Structure formats: C-alpha cells, structure tokens
Amino acid sequence: MTWDTLWLDVHLATSDPERISGEDGFGCIRNGALAVQDGKIAWVGAMEDLPAPAHTLARELRHGQGLWMTPGLVDAHTHVVFGGDRSAEFSLRLHGVSYEEIARQGGGILSTVRATRDATEEELLHKAIPRVQEMIASGTTAIEVKSGYGLRTSDELKQLRVARELARRLPVHVHTTFLGAHALPEEYVGRADEYIRHLSEEMLPCLMAENLVDSLDVFCENIAFSTEQAEKLFSRAQELKLPVRIHADQLSASGGGLLAARYGALSADHLEYVNEDAVSCMAQAGTVAMLLPGAFYFIRESKVPPINLFRHYGVPMGLATDCNPGTSPILSLPGVMNMACTLFRMTPEETFRAVTTVGARALGLEQNLGMLKPGCQADMALWDMAGPHELSYWIGGRKPRGVIFGGRVVVDPQNCALSPAV
C-alpha cells in the first residue's frame, strides 16, 4: 500500500497508554514518523523503523523539521454558542457590585438567555465561528458544545443547529450536549418540577428527532436543579439510550458526583466540593472528573478540587475551557493546562492526557480521538517547543505552528516550515 502522506522528522507525543511509562507520561517517540491514509493514522514509529525507504511509501512526504507533533486537543466542555455580551459584568463585580445585584439589574445567565433568544440562527453562527477558529488556532480539533441558553424548544433547537453547522463549516469535530436544565427560565419561576417534566417529555424528544443531541447534561447545584430533578432527566436519557454528564459539586456538596457514578455518566464536571465516597464510586463507574480551572480562576473560587483523591482512586482527570460569557471567557486549552498546573498542582503529564485521551473519553470517542495511534483520526498539532511539558508552561497558553485535521494541514501551513521532501 502507498500511504497518502508520510510525516518525517517529527518528535511524537502520542498520549498512547501503551507507550506511556513511569518515566514518560507523554508516550514520546523522538525522531519519529507518522503516516496518514484516508484521513486516519496508518503508522506511527521511529523513522529508523520505517518498513521501506520513505520515498517509496507515500504519495506526499512532509518534513516536520524537528517540531513536536501531538494529537489534536479535545475540549470536552464548552458553552461556545451564545448571544449577547457580559464583559461589562466583570467590571461591575470588580467595582463591588454583587452577582445578585447584577442579576436584579437584568444581568447574569438569564441575560444571556434573553440575548440568545433574540438572536437569529445566522447571528449565533456568525458570533460562534471566530471563537471556534481561535480554539482551532490553539491546537483544538474536537469540542463539546452545550445548549442551555435557549431554555425553550425553538431556541434550544437554534443553538444545537448552530453547533452542528460549526462542524460543517470548520475543521473540528463537534459533540452536542442538551443542557436544557441549565437554569430555570423566567416563564417557569416557581415551577421547577414542571419545567423538568417539559424537558423530559417534550423538549428532549423533539431535539433528538432532529438528530441534534449526542448527550444530556444537568446543572445540579443549590442555585440550579436538585439531584432528584437531575435524576428524572437521567432516567429519561437512559430510556432513550443517551449518554449523560453533569455539572456537579461546583459550589457545594450537592451530590452530583455520586449521581454521575450511579448513572455511569461520561463525566462529572467542576467537582470542587465532591466527597471521597463519590470519588470512589466515580472510579468504579469509569466517570471522568472534568476539571474547569478557567471558571475556578475567573470567579476566584478558593476550594480546590480533590486532586489527590482522584489520583488515589484512579479517576481519570480531564480539562476543558468551559468557554462561556459569564464565568470562563477562555478559548485556549494550553492556557487551561497552565492554570491546572498552577492552581490545582496537576503535573504537565496529567494536563497533557487531560486534553487528549481523557478529553476524548469524556466524549465517548476514546477509540478515535486524542492519540497518535494507528486507526485514530489524523488530527494533530505541530509545536515548536522543547518537549510536551512546555505546553503547560506558558501563562495564557501558546499556539501551535500548524494544525492537521483529517490528515490535511488547516492552520497556517506557511508558518509551519514544512516543504515537500526531496
């Protein structure tokens, strides 16, 4: 067989568990090569182990000139499709105005709901595209996109259609999540149980009928929805064979982590206040602890997630931007990696796996994304760095020299210093 493309002279940080050891938490292959066939990785190894002379193996040869190649990064928790702007709230809070007062003045999450409802589908798409382009330029090739700023059927449909359209317009995989239980809309004030029934019996089946939902999420917290209300939605999702995830234990020990384990959730997200019993159950269920240091930083939280408990019980730790207008206005996963090292004391190796293999696992896509391994999607990023540890070093993150999606270079090929081999 002749491969489509063969990359030469690249150092590979594969994130392949079979290559990770106690000494090497990145799964590195120095002076490596990687072959692509039909948009998938066909061969990975050292250049000296190529089965034949390079020029006989592929229709196109690419020289990486000693750059580092990693899997494309996976951002498994975002709210990147939304209307309006809440940057002024940041200034108000720093001038001493409380969140409650901002909400009384018409701000807060319901202001984003109103702006999202007022926006057309095309307007939401026009605003979301530059955000996702910036994510891609930072090395991200797969994102999860939540609804939850519509809170009524027509507007949740609108958000999720935009999410699907992003995958058609841009070189990025998109996993869609229905988060109708994000906040209680104004028209249901005092009727939370009725709203949950509406989500379960009317809204969710409608969205699924249009093939717009890949998973279901609930904001389970004292200021949002109870574990009992979340469980009603989880039971309905289970009937529909829809994977679940949950915003859990962010502001209080609300029991969301334990509920996630009981239902085998793909991930439980935030988890600042999760307890040891829940962590143990999450380990047995295989639920990812999706940590979101952007929100922790932005709202100046002081309760650090129990990193050592996750390590002790073997709970896989993921990282994501949580990109949203109210509590985590960040688009760079490398920036999040730095925050996780600095604020949570995670190691560079842990943060690397968190945005590659573990991020893919949190989307149920661990067989296809997040690794440089034969059979996986040929989604990669090229970095000019001393080693993969450097990804979590730069404050604010850094950008790759190039991004490859489905085997095709899609970001700044002229700056990658790549040229056909001679």
Model pLDDT for residues 164-207, shown as the tens digit of each residue: 999 999 999 999 999 999 999 999 999 999 999 999 999 999 99
- Please say if the pLDDT value at position 294 is more than 50: yes
Binding site members for Fe(3+): 77, 79, 247, 322
- The domain made up of 73-363 has a fold known as TIM Barrel (3.20.20)
Name the binding residues for 4-imidazolone-5-propanoate. Answer: 86, 149, 182, 250, 327
Domain ranges of the chain: 3-72+371-416, 73-363
Which tens digits make up the pLDDT trace of 47-82? 999 999 999 999 999 999 999 999 999 999 999 999
Mention every residue, 6+ apart, whose C-beta is less than 8 A from residue 315.
279, 282, 283, 287, 288, 289, 309
Amino acid at 58: A
pTM reported for the whole predicted model: 0.96
Q: Burial level of 286, CB count in 10 A (0-12/13-18/19+)?
A: middle
Which helix (H) or strand (E) covers residue 109, if one does?
helix 109-118
Specify the pLDDT at position 99. Answer: 72
Binding region for Zn(2+): 77, 79, 247, 322
Instruction: Decide the pairing of beta strands 140-146 and 267-270.
Output: unpaired
**Res 412: pLDDT:** 64
CATH class label, 3-72+371-416: mainly beta
Q: Which residues pair with 61 in a beta bridge?
A: 6
Q: Which residues are annotated as a binding site for N-formimidoyl-L-glutamate?
A: 149, 324, 326
> What is the rounded distance in angstroms from the CA atom of residue 41 to the CA atom of residue 72?
12
